[in-house]
Amino acid sequence: MNAEKKQLLDRTYTIFKQLCFYDYPIDRSKEYLIEKIMGYGTHVDEKIFGIQSFNDLLQLQRDQSVGLEMSVKERPVFESFMANGDAVVLVDEILISMKTEGNEMSINCRLTTVMEFTDEQWKVVHFHGSLATGNEGDMDTWSVNELKERNKELERKVAERTEELRISFENLKAAQAQLIQSEKMASLGELTAGIAHEIQNPLNFVNNFAEVSHELIDEMNEELDKGELEEAKAIGLDVKQNLEKINHHGKRADAIVKGMLQHSRTSTGQKEPTDINALADEYLRLAYHGLRAKDKSFNATLNTEFDEQIGEINLVSQDIGRVILNLITNAFYVVDEKKKSGIENYEPLVAVRTKKNGKNIEIEVSDNGNGIPERVLDKIFQPFFTTKPTGQGTGLGLSLSYDIVKMHKGDLKVKTEKGKGTTFTIKLPLD
């Protein structure tokens, strides 16, 4: 067989496979098939007698394949020519892979083709496509309908699982809300004793200045009775100064109570101008006195270093206050634990610093405790993870703090050194 005749055979056979498995135009099939072609498809009902019957089968296959991602791999396994070289039997193994909506299946079939050379061209006279299985009366070409039925069953199972997950998610949200409220109340409990201590100071001032003013009023009346107007005016001035001090300390007590109420209620999420230095300083003192009220043996050195250039910045003060409080109470806890371990000459130290850094402000809370073990460092911001004994922590403090800072488009980082301490840094944008 000359090379030109062999090339023509290869081209015609390639186009025939493109008709069967790809998208070669069906209306051109008569150029490559004899008019009375006979063949069988991959199922027993697919019997072909003539070009029109062949074209109808191809159209059915293509209609059923709409929406499928298909790929075809071919492997020649047999080729045999008649003695005169004008007829040939060709056998290929065909692997058809189909995918739709996440479901996949593969079909192995064998295509046997008989071709004749007449009038200077090769044409297909007979073909047979065979599968490992095939059911009588099953006109599901390439098992496409079977694949689609699988998809329907998969969709049904996915819908059921999605509904189960939705219910579980709703239950989880409710449980999470309860836990968050529990964490808020736990932090409020940490503050309660400190608030009582802090509010007692201005109340003592109010009471003392009120008593002194009462005595001054009596003295002023005596001086007026004597006609000593200048002396009476001087006493009146003292009374006025006392009233200003009463007013100042009354407002201080009012601010502490409002802060306590604000901490306990649900956040509105509204940003407002906030003096971050005053916020950090107040929570440091409240947390310290709160712990002192519970444990008289506790003591620590408090260091503050506030950048006065920061001024007021827009943030949700209630939420950022919770973050600062959580970091400070954690710092007090670790230095207290280290002190109780009996290390000689150890003095607990907790420091709070603020500084302006370009377009950001940074709030640092440092301690000189034992540091965070490296094996748990990557878990500390995970919900429910805690190193505290059972009953002493919800495991939500740092997780909620991290989320709050992220909602402010900021970042919460930690640096720790074994045996020397830990520093948490809150970074918040100024705008």
The pLDDT tens digits for 47-65 are 888 999 999 888 888 888 8
Say which DSSP state 300 is in. -
Helix and strand numbers, DSSP H then E, in the chain: 7, 13
90-137 per-position pLDDT tens digit: 999 988 888 876 677 788 888 889 999 988 899 999 988 887 554 444
Question: What pLDDT sits at residue 134?
Answer: 45
Closest Cα to residue 365, out of 420, 421, 298, 309? 421
pLDDT score recorded for residue 412: 92
Strand segments, DSSP code E, in 7-68 are: 33-40, 47-49
Over residues 186-213, the pLDDT tens digits come to: 555 555 655 665 666 677 777 777 887 8
CB atoms within 10 A of CB 195: 19
* Residue 155 or 389, more confident: 155
* pLDDT value at residue 253: 73
The mean pLDDT of 353-362, rounded to a whole number, is 92
pLDDT the model gives residue 25: 93
Pairing of strands 312-315, 272-275: antiparallel
pTM of the model: 0.46
Considering the chain, tell me which residue range(s) the CATH 3.10.450.50 domain(s) occupy.
3-139
Which pair of tokens denotes residue 234?
Answer: 């001087």
Give the pLDDT of residue 135. 44
Instruction: Return the beta strands (E) in 368-410 as ranges.
Output: none
Mean pLDDT, rounded, of the chain: 81
Sheet with 47-49, strands from edge to edge, namely: 47-49, 33-40, 121-131, 103-118, 87-100, 69-81
Please say whether the beta carbons of 115 and 12 come within 8 A: yes
Given the structure tokens 């079977």, which residue do they identify?
Answer: 146
pLDDT of residue 349: 94
Fold of 3-139: Nuclear Transport Factor 2; Chain: A, (3.10.450)
Of 241-250, 261-270, 299-308, 331-340, minimum mean pLDDT range: 261-270
Burial of 279 (0-12, 13-18, 19+ CB in 10 A): buried
pLDDT above 60 (res 242): yes
Residues 147 and 107: their CA atoms lie apart, in Å, by: 11
What are the tens digits of pLDDT across the range 328-337?
A: 988 998 999 9
| Backbone angles phi and psi of 389, in degrees to 5 | -60, 160
End-to-end Cα spacing for the chain: 83
pLDDT at 325 over 60: yes
Q: What is the mean pLDDT of residues 149-174?
A: 76
Q: Which of 331, 245, 246 is nearest to 280 (CA)?
A: 331
In whole angstroms, give the CA distance from residue 264 to residue 283. Answer: 14
Which three-class secondary structure state does DSSP give residue 274? strand
CATH number of 270-431: 3.30.565.10
Spatial separation of the C-alpha atoms in residues 162 and 129, rounded to whole Å? 41
Q: Is the pLDDT of residue 304 over 80?
A: yes
How many Å apart are CA 339 and CA 359, to the nearest integer?
39
Encoding tokens for residue 96? Answer: 């058809």
What is the arithmetic mean of pLDDT over 218-232? 84
In the chain, list all ranges with CATH 3.30.565.10. Answer: 270-431
Q: Quick one: pLDDT at residue 303?
A: 93
Per-residue pLDDT, 193 = 54
Q: How far apart are CA 74 and CA 69, in angstroms?
A: 17
Lowest mean pLDDT among 234-243, 333-342, 421-430: 234-243
Q: Which residue has the tokens 């003013």?
A: 213
Higher pLDDT, 254 or 413: 413
Distances (CA, A) of 75 to 17, 71, 89: 12, 14, 15
DSSP 370: S
Identify the residue with better confidence: 409 or 382.
Answer: 409
- Greater model confidence, 377 or 140: 377
